[in-house]
Structure 1
């Protein structure tokens, strides 16, 4: 396996009430300590960045796997929710909605449903987080393009 390297530059201005910037080749964002921890909260915070990474990895993995299965996907949306509690720990739930062309067969719908679950197992970021005891749940839905207009 080839080596993968990411360079990220971080600059911070001020104290806990300050803020900063992070940037990489194709990524740039403001960062700040959350208000609940004494900061200004006007920027991305660490948990949000972790959840964003998990969502990006999962959705990109899902898109690639759907394409590899030659499924005619006309749309994909996803919501992601993260919770952190003493009882359950850190938990991320992805809610992908895959929209197939109106002429998709029953086999293609079943394949898309299987792919929604398989993408979770193939997502590198998700797998790293699971090793750190983060629970990742997938609650996906597959619909046909004609059903989307009726259900929204």
Structure 2
């Protein structure tokens, strides 16, 4: 078994509505509570970062699986939505919806492309980490050009 560690350094200098920073090898940004949760909304926040982790993991996994299956794409774009429930002061991340839009060449096996798009979600490391806690839904759009 081979293990790998990722490292993050965080600094939070003040109270609830202040602004902190996080730093990794490739990411340096300010962090705060989003305005929807009565925060200052400066930089990013945990909700956006969880959505970003899930989205980047899924789209990279999908691209790699398409490549291994020899499916050539013209383009792969995606929007993702994170749905958070705020009830009586309790915040719960309920669902992430990925909406990949895959443009494929005429003659591409669309059934295989659809199958791969679905399998990529369950193959993604972040999706597996969230399983049982946050529902992940796919709305795949395949377009032949």
Q: How far is 1:61 from its partner?
A: 0.5
CA RMSD of aligned residues (A): 2.0
Normalized against structure 2, the TM-score is what? 0.88
Tell me the equivalent position of 2:85.
85
Alignment of 1:1-152 (within 5 A): 1-85=1-85, 90-101=94-105, 103-105=106-108, 108-131=109-132, 133-144=133-144, 146=145
What is the CA-CA distance between 1:21 and the residue it aligns to?
A: 1.5
**Do the aligned residues in 2 keep the contact of 1:19 with 1:32 (CA within 8 Å)?**
yes
Residues 82 and 93 in structure 2, CA contact (< 8 A), matched pair in contact too: no
Residue 43 of structure 1: CA displacement?
A: 1.6
8 Å contact from structure 1 (residues 12, 20) kept in 2: yes
Aligned residues: 141
Gaps of 5+ in 1: 147-152
- CA positional deviation for 1:39: 2.3
The offset of 1:86, in angstroms, is 7.0
| Alpha-carbon distance in structure 2 between the residues aligned to 1:74 and 1:26 | 28
